[in-house]
Amino acid sequence: MKTIIRTLVGIGLGTAAIAAAAATVVYSGVYDIAADSPHSRPVFALLETARERSVARRARALQVPAVLDDPDRIRQGAGNYDAMCVSCHLAPGSGESELSRGLYPAPPDLSREAVDAASAFWTIKHGIKASGMPAWGRSMEDEYIWNMVAFLRALPTLDREGYAALVVSSEGHSHGGGGHDNGSGGHEHDGAEARERDSGAVEPQGHVHADGSHHDHGSASSTEPSIPEQARANDDNHDESAPSHKDTHTHEH
């Protein structure tokens, strides 16, 4: 009896010590949560395993459509992928983007990695906590998510030209469910019309920094950024001699 009591007391004290140590780490702020400071290997392995097991458990309940290699499904999914996913998960031949390089844990390069259909559907629909992966199910109907899954299964087999051709032939950004459907063809975002002008090449999604350098956000076929005509006109009409604005207000702190 005494042995049992000692054992229980020891377990209780050990549990209390672990809880106290964990509380000290949390409330002291000593653990670095910066995205550019990776987790230790044990912490990373714990979180990765928890994520994988959680997704797998829930994905088992899903019924995968019988036909995911349907060309229409793949084509429609390509447009949504290019509008919603490519900045993080990349396209064939695009290289890293600013977002994919800055996120931690790093998003998988889906142009190279095969996906499990059920797990991919669940992840797209529900997202992943504290990872940068949104729950697209809040704005996308299930059928559109399955179309994106169909495209993801085909994506690793595509080269740059094949990817661009699928995006141009798609309906653009169209997914229903969240008040975004503008008629039978949905709608298009972020330069979808420009993609059609480029004879099948997908324009890079990027921006120009103050120092003049251009950053590609991962969608990409052409590496030469185009300069809008209006921007050129503004530059031509800019008066270099105009006085700079000075703040004449009195500020009190």
Q: Is residue 107 part of a domain?
A: yes
Q: Is position 82 within any domain?
A: yes
Tell whether 242 is covered by a domain.
Answer: no
* 118: containing domain: 48-208
Residue 86 belongs to a domain: yes
What six digits make up the tokens of 53? 């097991």
Could you tell me which residues come within 8 angstroms of residue 214 by beta carbon, excluding any fewer than 6 positions away?
206, 207, 208, 225
Residue-level pLDDT at 171? 81
Residue 63 lies in a domain: yes
Burial degree of 223 (CB within 10 A; 0-12, 13-18, 19+): exposed
Q: How far apart are CA 63 and CA 12, in angstroms?
A: 45
The residue-averaged pLDDT of 139-148 equals 96
Q: What's the total number of domains in the chain?
A: 1
Single-letter residue type at 155: L
Which position has the higher pLDDT, 3 or 143? 143
Cα(181)–Cα(184) distance, integer angstroms? 8
Q: Is the pLDDT of residue 196 over 50?
A: no
1 found inside a domain: no
Question: Which pTM value belongs to this model?
Answer: 0.68
Instruction: Pick the range with the lowest mean pLDDT from 21-30, 69-78, 165-174, 229-238.
Output: 229-238
Asked if residue 155 belongs to a domain, the reply is: yes
pLDDT in tens, 145-173: 999 999 999 999 999 999 999 999 998 89
Q: Where are the beta strands (DSSP E) in the chain?
A: 206-208, 214-216
- 24 lies in some domain: no
Number of neighbours of residue 111 by Cβ within 10 angstroms: 22
Q: Phi/psi of residue 121, each to 5°?
A: -60, -50
Q: What is the CATH number of the domain that holds 170?
A: 1.10.760.10
